[in-house]
Amino acid sequence: MKRIGVLTSGGDAPGMNAAIRAVVRMAAYNDLEVWGIQHGYAGLIKNSMQPLSTRSVADIIHRGGTILRTARSEEFTREAGQLKAIEALKINEISSLIVIGGDGSFRGAMALVERGIQVVGIPATIDNDIPGTDYSIGFDTAVNNVVDAVNKIRDTATSHERVYVVEVMGRNSGHIALAAGLAGGAESILIPEGESSLTELCQRVIRGYQRGKAHSIIIVAEGYRPPGVEEIQSPGMYVGQFIREKTGFETRITILGHIQRGGTPTVMDRVLASKFGAKAVELLLAGQTAVMTAIQGNNIISVPFNEVFSGQQEVDLEGFRLAEILSRP
Ligand code: F6P
């Protein structure tokens, strides 16, 4: 193995650049050459790649997004696309690849593994929904972005004594909502993994005001669905309107959207990304394939893709209960 490829795939996550930097520099330290593949698997199919020198990754550790760009490739899900990808790797004499992305990106990578390419994954998604690792790159920054927004909303919520519903990202999971709710002192948190009755939520809001609370902040994960309701565009809008109708309180709704995914990565994400990037190169050197770097406790380890695909990334239900207790007026 002399030349390795690196790509970022799926939704971007702050810290991806720090991971690319670590891959390139750890590879150089071990006399390996790294080629950066543009636009994820879509770029791989088009043979869009170039060498990355140690200098080319200078001044990126603090930048959100990904210098390699990213994409979700429909073509790569089909065999014809996968064969083109293999061909591009062969032409450029790359037999080892580091994929920075979510578990969907790792599932895609299996098509390459089955055709003889050595692949190591680095978990990166703000959703933190990848089984096998306590944290994925980008989660900490996203949560900090949300808490920053909630702090600001809290000021105006108190002034007007309003209810604020804040919808946060998390397509199928409530990790962002939970951590931001606990850190931001939210009165209630609604997540896909929990069963929360909106009627009880309204009673809680009313009780809070009766006991002298100046405002209520409700954090709703975008993947949350009220019991018995499937088809809604925005759970935040739904919950806000529900509270307004049932309680009569002045209610405002904020959908934070992609603001959560941008900005300079936090220290935690930079450190994690640096460790994951270095570990990924070490795993390739050790001959491992179809594995992902992971953090469990304080240990940086590797987890086989098969365990990632069959596992569950449980939400912190203790944290959920704690947030509820601590926000009681
Ligand atoms: O997977 C990360 C994520 O930010 C989800 O939380 C969100 O549902 C989705 O990506 C949004 O995707 P897009 O950027 O394609 O709109």
For the CA of 223, the nearest atom of ligand 1: 8
Average pLDDT on 124-138 reads 98
The predicted structure's pLDDT at residue 4: 98
Report the separation in Å between the CA atom of 176 and the middle of ligand 1, taken as the mean of its atom positions.
12
**Residues with Cβ < 8 Å from 318, sequence gap 6 or more?**
none
Q: What is the pLDDT of residues 21-33, one digit of tens each?
A: 999 999 999 999 9
The predicted structure's pLDDT at residue 54: 98
More confident residue, 197 or 56: 56
Residue ID of nearest Cα to ligand 1 atom 1 = 11
What confidence category does residue 35 fall into, taking pLDDT thresholds of 50, 70 and 90? very high
Q: In the chain, pLDDT over 70 holds for what percent of residues?
A: 100
Q: How many helices (H) and strands (E) does the chain have?
A: 11, 11
Strand locations in the chain (E): 3-8, 33-37, 49-52, 96-101, 118-123, 163-168, 188-190, 216-221, 251-255, 291-296, 299-304
What confidence category does residue 196 fall into, taking pLDDT thresholds of 50, 70 and 90? confident
Question: Do residues 110 and 305 touch, judged by C-beta distance below 8 A?
Answer: yes
Q: Is the pLDDT assigned to residue 190 strictly greater than 80?
A: yes
Average pLDDT on 138-143 reads 98
The predicted structure's pLDDT at residue 1: 61
Average pLDDT on 54-64 reads 98
The span from the CA of 28 to the CA of 9, in Å, is: 23
The predicted structure's pLDDT at residue 194: 87
Residue ID of nearest Cα to ligand 1 atom 8 = 171
Residue ID of nearest Cα to ligand 1 atom 12 = 11
Sorted by where each starts, the structural domains of the chain and their CATH numbers stand as 3-138+265-310 (3.40.50.450), 142-261 (3.40.50.460)
Average pLDDT on 64-90 reads 97
Active-site residue, from 12, 127, 129, 140: 127
The predicted structure's pLDDT at residue 89: 98
Q: What is the mean pLDDT of the chain?
A: 96
**Residues with Cβ < 8 Å from 233, sequence gap 6 or more?**
none
Threshold 0.95, pTM exceeds: yes
Residue ID of nearest Cα to ligand 1 atom 14 = 11
User: Would you call 127 a catalytic residue per the annotation?
Assistant: yes
Q: What is the pLDDT of residues 256-314, one digit of tens each?
A: 999 999 999 999 999 999 999 999 999 999 999 999 999 999 999 999 999 999 998 89
Report the separation in Å between the CA atom of 90 and the middle of ligand 1, taken as the mean of its atom positions.
32
The predicted structure's pLDDT at residue 210: 93
The span from the CA of 96 to the CA of 34, in Å, is: 10
Angle, to 10 degrees, between the axis of helix 267-285 and the axis of helix 139-160? 160
Report the separation in Å between the CA atom of 40 and the middle of ligand 1, taken as the mean of its atom positions.
16
